[in-house]
Amino acid sequence: MFDNLSDKLQRVFKNLRGEGRLTAENMDAALREVRVALLEADVNFKVVKQLIESVKTRAMGQQVLASLSPSQQVIGIIHEELIKILGSHEAKLRFANEPPSVFMIVGLQGSGKTTSTGKLARWLAKNGNRPELVSVDVYRPAARKQLSILARDIKIPIYEGTAEETKPLDLVRSARREAVNNSRDVLLVDTAGRLHIDEELMTELKQLKELLNPVEILFVADAMTGQDAVKSAEEFHKQLGITGVILTKMDGDARGGAALSIRSVTGQPLKFVGTGEKTDAFEQFHPDRAASRILGMGDILSFVETAQEAFDSKQQEEMQRKFIENEFSLEDFRDQLKSLRKLGSLESILKMMPKTGMMKDLQNLQPDESELTRIVAIIDSMTPKERENHMMINGSRRRRIARGSGTTVNDVNNLLKQYGQARKMMKSLSGSLGNMGSIGKRLGRMGLGKMGLPGF
């Protein structure tokens, strides 16, 4: 997500870093490059113009520059302006006073409506709701079947309709009745798509809206289609009154322009982003985190959130302290590897991290299942003293540990090497977090706003 744009902006800031002071000239040059980078990322030109103008006005008006370098200062201001453009706070879903709340999922053909309907249902269930699904795509033969299969996968009830129910309005009437009877609190309605916006489709959607009185009409936009996605969102909004946007396929090489333009152009917030084909590749959209990601600061908050789901927070706090104080023992290493399994793929975690040289080290650490079992066996065969202090594990101890765990001395050597890398990585990670935290604090003191960083 946002990788290209982020790379380009990093380059601009790197050039600014060499400058001692912020002047009209170096500021102009930097903003010209920021402008090009945004336009190349397919951000709507009006949005770019507005951003550059407000950054310029604010940066030149800054009096006290003493404690910040020019690049830090510009990054701070752009960060804030990006958040404004993306929508100052995250847009929560609305729910009806009287359940079931009806959410209509609309959009062009192939944008990801059916997939997103399943993802949203799963997300809702995880967050304590009781969703039910229904598909009213009666035109494409396999469309309803597609949602049924998805529903079975994610174990969410779906109203499949009787043989007589061939019309969208009939289907939703019965689906809503069933939702009430089964005390489901959200009814998600997956609708048919068209290649282009046409009368017929709009008429049908308007009829559904009239009948269902939905609290959310979520427009599903394919990020890969860039400004076209923004334009069709605008058109749907004009005709139907959408309440939010789900931007899909942000995992592809989408240039990010749609995400950055949708709020300004349509006036409607981005509520979720789809980042893959699987049902868990779905995130709530956080403007401040996206802005951090665009500026190459990594999405540490998302990382911490994912991590917190896997580790309990006490353990997490203790680990953080150990990372920072370099007390990370082999025992901790074993626990971390076990928890990593719960975290999902290391690759998806890495994408959220700030870009630093430690990435490669981390990549080497990804254990497969059998390796993990071996590592745990090796560490279990050590004495508590050895686990605390790996330096004492000499040749004869290595032979004993290998025998005890049914592995080879080579395996033990490898493990100790990996552990060494992990310690090094943890150290540089805590270092980089520390730095970013202090930049954040300084920006905060200068009134330049929150950098979206956790309190490390």
Q: Which of 23, 67, 88, 109 binds ligand GTP (CB under 6 A)?
A: 109
84 binds, among Mg ion, ligand GTP, none (CB under 5 to 8 A by kind): none
Provide the CA 238 distance to its chain's centre, in angstroms. Answer: 29
Cβ proximity to ligand GTP: between 72 and 248 the closer is: 248
Q: Cβ-count burial of 84 within 10 angstroms (0-12 exposed, 13-18 middle, 19+ buried)?
A: middle
Residues 6+ positions from 160 with CB-CB distance below 8 Å: 144, 148
Under the binding rule (CB under 6 A), the answer on residue 87 touching ligand GTP is no
Cβ proximity to ligand GTP: between 38 and 220 the closer is: 220
Cβ proximity to Mg ion: between 110 and 420 the closer is: 110
Q: Of the candidates 364, 288, 307, which has an alpha carbon nearest to the alpha carbon of residue 89? A: 288
Q: Report the DSSP beta bridge partners of residue 105.
A: 190, 218
407 vs 399: CA distance, rounded Å: 9
**Residue 112 Cβ, how far from Mg ion at the closest point, in Å?**
8
Residues forming contacts to Mg ion in the complex (CB under 5 A) are 113-114
Instruction: Provide the edge-to-edge strand list for the sheet that holds 101-107.
Output: 158-159, 131-135, 186-190, 101-107, 216-222, 244-248, 270-274, 282-284
Span interacting with ligand GTP, options 26-34, 108-116, 155-163, 385-393, rule CB under 6 A: 108-116
Under the binding rule (CB under 6 A), the answer on residue 345 touching ligand GTP is no
Under the binding rule (CB under 6 A), the answer on residue 110 touching ligand GTP is yes
Under the binding rule (CB under 6 A), the answer on residue 114 touching ligand GTP is yes
Provide the CA 282 distance to its chain's centre, in angstroms. Answer: 7
6: left (phi over 0), alpha (psi -120 to 50) or beta: alpha
Opening angle at CA 448, ends 18 and 74, nearest 5: 25
Span interacting with ligand GTP, options 24-32, 122-130, 272-280, 418-426, rule CB under 6 A: 272-280
Under the binding rule (CB under 6 A), the answer on residue 296 touching ligand GTP is no
115 binds, among Mg ion, ligand GTP, none (CB under 5 to 8 A by kind): ligand GTP
Span interacting with ligand GTP, options 230-238, 245-253, 291-299, 446-454, rule CB under 6 A: 245-253
Residues in touch with ligand GTP (CB under 6 A)? 107, 109-115, 137, 140, 143, 193, 248-249, 251-252, 274-277, 281
